[in-house]
Structure 1
C-alpha cells in the first residue's frame, strides 16, 4: 500500500497564518508587525490628524485667550515627568511654549505606527517655542523604553510619569495626542493614531507659537 507523502500544501492556510502569528507573539515581534500594517494605512492619508477650526480662523488668538480667561491654570499643573536620562521635569516649566503631547507605549501597535510621522513633524517645527513631549506609559521600566527609542533612532524628547497622572490627560484610547497653547490650555485632542506630518498641523503649531 502506498503511503501519501506529506506536503506543505496539505497544511490549511489558517494553520500557517496562526503559526506565523504565534511565532511573532512569542518573539515579541507581533507589535512591530501590526504597527507596520497600520503605518501603511496612515500613508494613505485617510487618518490625517484633525486640525482645529482655529487654524482657519484669523482670530485664532481670541479663541485661545477666551479659554485662558475662563481657567487660568495650566493643563497638567503639578505633574512631574522624568526623561530617559533620569532628570525630573515639571510639566509647568513648559508653560509659554506650544506643547505637542503624545501619550504612547511600546506595546501599542498604533503608537508605533504613528511615531515616524511625529518624528518628521518634530524635525520640521521643534524650536524654543514648540516643545514635544512623548510620554510613555509603559510599566516595564525606563530601560525598556530607552532600548526601544535607541533602536528606532528617534530624537524627539521622551518622558515617563513621575507623579500621579493629570486628570486632563485621561483618555479611553492610546495613543492620544494633545496640543497645548502657550498659556497652558488644551486646544486640540486626537484619540487614536493619526498622521501629524501634514502642512495643516505644522502651520497650526507655528501659528500658536507666533501669537505668543
Structure 2
C-alpha cells in the first residue's frame, strides 16, 4: 500500500512540475492551443453557416456598427468606417487564450486566400499589453494585421466569450456571429464569404 501511495505521489509530482513549468514559462497557452487544433480538425466547432442565412438582413438590428476606432501595429489610427463596402471578418482574440491561438493558423490561411480588395480582416486583440499581440503575430509569421481598440468597443461587438468572430457583409449587415473557436479555412466558409460581396 505504501509503495502504491509513494508511486502515485511521484506521478502527481511529475505532472504538477510539467504543468507548472508550462504555466510559468507561458507555454501552456501554446500547448493547449496545439491540442485544441485537433478539436478544430473535427469540424465540430465550426460556425453554423445555415443559421446565419436565416438572419433578416433588412432588419435594422442586423446593421453593423461602424463607429469603432482601431490602432494597428504601427500605431496608426484606423476608423472602421473606412472599411464600409467590404466584407469584414472581425475576430476578437488574445494571446493568453488557447482557443484563439488554436484557430489562428486557419485564419491566416483564409486571409492568404481571399480577395483583399473585397474582404477586410480586423484581428482585434484584447490583450492589456498590445505589444504582446504584435510580438505574437510577428513570431508566428502571420500575414494579417493586428489591431487594438482605440476607445470603447461598440455594444454589438461586446462578447462574454473569446474568441468571437463577426462577419459583416458589403452592405453593412452583421451576417454572422460565432462565439468560440472555429476553422474558417474551409470551402464552405470561403463560399459563404464570397456570397457576402
CA distance in 2, matches of 1:109, 1:166: 25
Contact 1:47 1:195 in 2 (8 A): yes
TM-score by length of 1: 0.84
Report Cα offsets for 1:61-91 as digits up to 9, x if no partner: xx53x23xx369x523321000001110001
Stretches of structure 2 that go unaligned for 5 or more consecutive residues are 1-6
Which of 172, 175, 183 is matched with 2:160 structurally? 172
Contact 2:45 2:180 in 1 (8 A): no
Contact 1:126 1:132 in 2 (8 A): no
Residue 54 of structure 1, CA deviation: 5.9
Instruction: Compute the RMSD of aligned alpha carbons.
Output: 2.1
CA distance in 2, matches of 1:187, 1:53: 10
Task: Give the aligned partner of residue 104 of structure 2.
Answer: 115
Which of 169, 176, 184 is matched with 1:188 structurally? 176
Stretches of structure 1 that go unaligned for 5 or more consecutive residues are 1-8
Task: Give the aligned partner of residue 3 of structure 2.
Answer: none
Aligned residues: 192
TM-score by length of 2: 0.90
Contact 1:52 1:187 in 2 (8 A): no
Q: Sort the Cα spacing of 1:129 and 1:143 in 2 relative to 1 into closer, same or farther, 3 A.
A: same
Runs of 4+ in 1 over 6 A off after TM superposition: none
Q: Sort the Cα spacing of 1:11 and 1:204 in 2 relative to 1 into closer, same or farther, 3 A.
A: same
Task: Give the aligned partner of residue 133 of structure 1.
Answer: 122
Contact 1:82 1:159 in 2 (8 A): yes
Report Cα offsets for 1:73-129 as digits up to 9, x if no partner: x52332100000111000111110100000000000000000001111111114211
Task: Give the aligned partner of residue 5 of structure 1.
Answer: none
2:63 aligned with 1:77? no
CA distance in 1, matches of 2:133, 2:65: 22
Report Cα offsets for 1:137-174 as digits up to 9, x if no partner: 1001x322111100000011211001111101011100
Residue 11 of structure 1, CA deviation: 5.5
Residue 46 of structure 1, CA deviation: 2.2
